[in-house]
Structure 1
């Protein structure tokens, strides 16, 4: 009844994952790599302004936040230990420096990880891509 041959031909073509992840990490469209992926800090665009790719099916949800916490925690904990053992700073100084570093790194990574997750979803044709 329905003509699914065009849909099958479209979904059977492989999309490379690595370029899509890298384009997403750069916060650009996973399809063309030129158009901006986000319209504000974490809001996705509905369509790419360059190639017109529909980005509305993307569902990153809480994934970027969990991955950001995981990465920042695994990076900062060893540095905190090394700095404390090597230099023995006052605890308040250590806490202040590492709190600022954790917040800064989290704010830097969060939109980039969200872009990478959207790129992965686009490459794997998840959620209607």
Structure 2
């Protein structure tokens, strides 16, 4: 594999663990959704990404595919509707908060591996 290749799957695995997609050593997010300006280990600049709203769309699609079938099964379970109305929005909020950072890291890793936007160099 040439040195200039940027394979996506290793970069994705690193980004999902909050690590630099390029080297796997430095932290990707020092704060919740704010990527570091550059990797502390390899120096790759991460402030050039343009993930925009795509990570939120990824999370919405994932949550829909995870929660809707489970919700459909619990409707006929005999639980009071008030309990379901409290349960499912709460579960959705917790899962959305847990998935948004890895989704953003994955989108940034994809952009980096494909040399999109500011990652051409």
The answer for the alignment partner of 1:52 in structure 2 is: 43
Alpha-carbon RMSD across the aligned residues, in angstroms, is: 1.5
The answer for the alignment partner of 1:121 in structure 2 is: 111
The answer for the alignment partner of 1:43 in structure 2 is: 34
Distance, in Å, in 2 between the alignment partners of 1:120 and 1:22 is 11
Q: Matched residue of 1:67: which SS?
A: helix
Q: Does 1:94 align with 2:84?
A: yes
Could you say which structure has the greater relative contact order, defined with CA pairs below 8 angstroms and 6 or more residues apart? 1
| Cα offset, 1:39, TM superposition | 1.8
Matches within 5 A, 1:12-23: 13-23=4-14
Q: How many residues align?
A: 118
Task: Identify, as 1 or 2, the structure richer in helix.
Answer: 1
**TM-score when normalising by structure 1:** 0.86
| Cα offset, 1:128, TM superposition | 2.2
The answer for the alignment partner of 2:101 in structure 1 is: 111
Distance, in Å, in 2 between the alignment partners of 1:127 and 1:76 is 33
Unaligned 5+ segments in structure 1 are 1-8
Distance, in Å, in 2 between the alignment partners of 1:56 and 1:43 is 9
Unaligned 5+ segments in structure 2 are none
